[in-house]
Structure 1
Amino acid sequence: MTSRRLFCASLLGLATAGSIALPAAAAATEPKDGVEYLTLPSPLPLDAGRKVEVIEFFAYYCPHCYAFEPVLAEWVRQQGDRIVFKRVHVSRDANVAPQQRLFFTLEAMGLADRFHDKVFAAMHVDRLRLNSDEQVFDWIAKNGIDRAKFIDTYRSFGIQQRLRRADAMMDTYHIDRWPMIAIGGRYLTSPSHANESAIAAGEARSEAQQHQVVLQVMDYLVGKARQ
């Protein structure tokens, strides 16, 4: 896997309570390529049919992913059958590996939708680190998941394949921060990209304002991809 700058980002230090907010009208202008979003050099092959594929690259440990999750979930709900939505848990280091494997195991077992928010809450509300296999196994057992079945899946070749695919997708999409949203196999945006125009003007948006703007950018990119 090629080297890349890895960080969980909504531009730390710029999205503070003391940030200067841009007027709502400024957020409604047409997003600019290279500022609020990026375009990949070549579109990637997709299997979403007539729908637009939307992928979130995220990590459970990431506080910005946690903050973005309810906003993103509501946006996905509102899109209805216009999109196909997928998640990819990013890799980072040995501390994050059990969380990444946890996500893909829940997904393989058909439990991701049921337990996704609970994993976020465990880490960011209950302050569980979930940075070792045993911590993950203890947590899933306490939440009523068959421990032996989970461990078999967790350690399976199928999960190893999903981990390799996640790394390959990170490289293919040039993921260097998260949460990051890929749309239509061609466009990338994120809450931190939603802050770029404000930074260029010597200002900054709060994290909540970044969320508002990035959802507008995502709407724009879904429309662009559908064309």
Structure 2
Amino acid sequence: MRLLQLGLGAVIALSFFVPISHAQGPAKIEPGFDYRVLPVAQPLDTKGKVEVIEFFWYGCPHCFDFDPEIMAWEKRQAKDVVFRQVPIAFREELMPHSQLFYALEALGKSNLNSKVMFAMHRENKRLLNENDIADWVASQGVDRNAFLAAYRSFAVVSKARAARQLGDAYRIDGVPTVAIQGKYITSPSIAGTRAKAIAVMDHLVDKVRKENYK
């Protein structure tokens, strides 16, 4: 009888012990596993702020999946966080997508970016030549001639090429990838999941604040 009581006591003790051992809070975020530190920090456009860049490509299915989450993340950031997107063309034939991004930006139509991705990934539109791109943009209520003027402009073409060079400077070899303060890199593939990547971004933003935005 005493052995049974001891056994029952052990079971009861174990039943209390197991939940406690798992109640450790959020998973630890570690450099080298959840994010990487660039060997050479890149210059910042804004001082005294947290600079966050999402490198992406319209045609990337992972970018399409991540887009709603990172847009929601941006909306809840404090005023000291400066967020921007940079389109990456890993091959020359994909440069029209980068020009599309900057032409929409020049026209104040960046709100169409998510629709561009939806058209590519849900409506099977490639949008890789000028006429197809202009036709699609016009279907969204944008003046076709005004768009083409922006799309062909020296400023837009220069920005598209500069974006590619920036990706090289940050050693971007896949998208989506998020750079924070010119020196930290994370992504859903690095962190393991989209949710973990968002958690890592929050962690890094707080880290930069503690480092006095350096």
Bigger Rg, which one: 2
Task: Deviation per CA, 1:53-106: give whole Å up to 9, x if none.
Answer: 000000111110000000111111111313100000001235422222101111
Displacement, 1:216?
0.8
Note if contact 1:54-1:86 (Cα within 8 Å) is conserved in structure 2.
yes
Note if contact 1:95-1:132 (Cα within 8 Å) is conserved in structure 2.
no
- Structure-1 separation of matches of 2:54 and 2:176: 7
Question: Which residue of structure 1 aligns with residue 7 of structure 2?
Answer: none
1:43 maps onto 2:41 in alignment:
yes
Question: Which residue of structure 2 aligns with residue 52 of structure 1?
Answer: 50
Task: Deviation per CA, 1:166-203: give whole Å up to 9, x if none.
Answer: 111111100001000000111000000012xxxxxxxx
Note if contact 1:57-1:178 (Cα within 8 Å) is conserved in structure 2.
yes
Question: Which residue of structure 1 aligns with residue 115 of structure 2?
Answer: 118
User: Aligned to 1:69, which of 67, 70, 75?
Assistant: 67
Q: Structure 2 vs 1, CA of residues 64 and 136 (structure 1 numbering), >3 Å: closer, same or farther?
A: same
Note if contact 1:43-1:185 (Cα within 8 Å) is conserved in structure 2.
yes
Note if contact 2:89-2:97 (Cα within 8 Å) is conserved in structure 1.
no
Note if contact 1:59-1:89 (Cα within 8 Å) is conserved in structure 2.
yes
What is the one-letter code of the residue matched to 1:76?
E
Task: Deviation per CA, 1:8-45: give whole Å up to 9, x if none.
Answer: xxxxxxxxxxxxxxxx9899323221211110123222
Q: Structure 2 vs 1, CA of residues 115 and 25 (structure 1 numbering), >3 Å: closer, same or farther?
A: farther
- Structure-1 separation of matches of 2:24 and 2:114: 32
Q: Structure 2 vs 1, CA of residues 194 and 26 (structure 1 numbering), >3 Å: closer, same or farther?
A: farther
Q: Structure 2 vs 1, CA of residues 26 and 174 (structure 1 numbering), >3 Å: closer, same or farther?
A: farther
1:211 maps onto 2:167 in alignment:
no
Question: Which residue of structure 2 aligns with residue 160 of structure 1?
Answer: 157
1:183-198 alignment runs, 5 A limit: 183-195=180-192
Q: Structure 2 vs 1, CA of residues 131 and 212 (structure 1 numbering), >3 Å: closer, same or farther?
A: same
Q: Structure 2 vs 1, CA of residues 26 and 119 (structure 1 numbering), >3 Å: closer, same or farther?
A: farther
1:1-227 alignment runs, 5 A limit: 28-112=26-110, 114-195=111-192, 210-226=193-209, 227=211
Structure 2-normalised TM-score?
0.83
Larger fraction in helix? 2
Q: What secondary structure does 2:90 align onto?
A: coil
Larger RCO: Structure 1 or Structure 2 (Cα < 8 Å, ≥ 6 residues apart)? 1
Gaps of 5+ in 2: 1-21
Note if contact 1:60-1:119 (Cα within 8 Å) is conserved in structure 2.
yes
Structure 1-normalised TM-score?
0.79
What is the one-letter code of the residue matched to 2:191?
A
Note if contact 1:98-1:132 (Cα within 8 Å) is conserved in structure 2.
yes
Q: Structure 2 vs 1, CA of residues 142 and 26 (structure 1 numbering), >3 Å: closer, same or farther?
A: farther
- List 4+ stretches of structure 1 deviating above 3 A: 24-27
* RMSD after superposition: 1.8
What is the one-letter code of the residue matched to 1:181?
V
Note if contact 2:95-2:160 (Cα within 8 Å) is conserved in structure 1.
no
- Structure-1 separation of matches of 2:154 and 2:182: 27
